[in-house]
Amino acid sequence: MEVTQSSTQKPMSMRWLYLASAFVGDIYGIFVRFIAFRLQAHIFSVMSVGFIFCMPFALGCIAVYVVELNQPRRIWAWLWLPWLSVVVALAAICVFAWEGSICIVMFLPIALIWSSLGGLLGGVAARYMRSRRRQRAAIMCVMALPFLVTPWENQVFQKWETRRVENVIDIQSPPDIVWRNIERVPAIHPDELPSSWAHTIGFPDPIEATLSYEGIGGVRHATFAKNLVFLETIDTWEPQQRLGFTIAADNIPPTTLDEHVAIGGPYFDVLRGEYRLERLSNNVTRLHLSSQHRLSTDFNWYAHFWTDGVMSDLQGRILYVIKQRCQSESHLAVSAK
């Protein structure tokens, strides 16, 4: 009878210990995000190494330290236990509407990795540092990392980088039909667009592109969902060969994109786009769509995976629509003969 009772009590005690660990880490994460929310960006920014990397590292360290002090766990638990705090903290940030879905999705992978690294440090400190005073000093130093790193990191890490993304698709249509479908893009019905992970996390769908007049200097108004509009000024006009344009945001409502990924903001901007047609045969055209965007964060080496991915996903969807329209038009032309 006593064995049965102890066997049922142990999981319950560990369950509460895990909850306490997640709660402590969660409170720390929310506190750091609140400080970043209240302070000006140049003092403590969410888009910083201090927050993106050091905050989850410290959160994971605290979470594992709390558990390990009370009941030692296996090392693999040091890796996954911090994830509870990360997930709960992000859920709370969503409730407070401090971040949009795009930022949370981009932050989650790096947060999980760095929280696990912090968990390893927290486990080592609790298990192998004999002095409780040294343990507490080490944990306090880790907790202070976000605030110690952020003030000076811009001088070391920040970069202004221009990146280029290109997508290519083969279309069973001659260049003249393809050209007509890229110089202007009539309204896109939602059913024409393929599924998209970028749209799933909050990036607006393309709707249409108008053209004021043909030739260099002409202006395309590229419209996206959520009232997002870009002015695309033609600077390269070679019919059935190349169509290039500079891009400037004309209208970006504050609710369309999170401030940290806003186009034309301090961290990201789209600069230029270009279509290039390559005739493969009389009835096959290879269409290239490329873009250039500016990335200026303290962690471009990580952020570019997301910005490149979003731009590639968007361009791929536009090319898909153009291909379907061109091939449908070519099929109708052949049928009419």
Helices and strands per DSSP (H, E), number in the chain: 9, 7
Q: What does the pLDDT look like over 96-137, one tens digit per residue?
A: 767 777 888 899 999 999 999 999 999 999 988 888 888 889
pLDDT digits (tens, 9 = 90+) for 221-266: 999 998 889 999 999 999 999 999 999 988 676 666 666 677 878 8
- Tokens 């536009």 belong to 318
pLDDT tens string 274-331: 999 999 988 999 999 999 999 998 899 999 999 999 999 999 999 999 999 999 998 8
Best-predicted range by mean pLDDT among 145-149, 152-156, 237-241? 237-241
Stronger pLDDT, 102 or 171, i.e. the higher one: 171
Of the spans 133-147, 192-206, 281-295, which averages the highest pLDDT?
A: 281-295
- Name the pTM for this structure: 0.83
Parallel, antiparallel, or unpaired: how do β-strands 206-211 and 268-281 relate? unpaired
| Residues carrying CATH 3.30.530.20, the chain | 161-336
Closest to 171 (Cα-Cα) out of 11, 320, 3, 334 = 320
Residue with the larger pLDDT of the pair 82 and 335: 82
Confidence of residue 28 (pLDDT cuts 50, 70, 90): confident
What does the pLDDT read at residue 15?
73
Alpha-carbon distance values, 324 to 191, 192, 193, 321 (Å): 12, 8, 10, 5
Q: pLDDT value at position 6?
A: 39
**How many other CB atoms are found less than 10 A from the CB of residue 44?**
19
* Tokens matching residue 205: 């769908």
User: Which CATH code of 3.30.230.70, 3.30.530.20, 1.25.40.10, 3.30.450.20 fits the domain covering 161-336?
Assistant: 3.30.530.20
How do beta strands 219-224 and 228-238 pair?
antiparallel
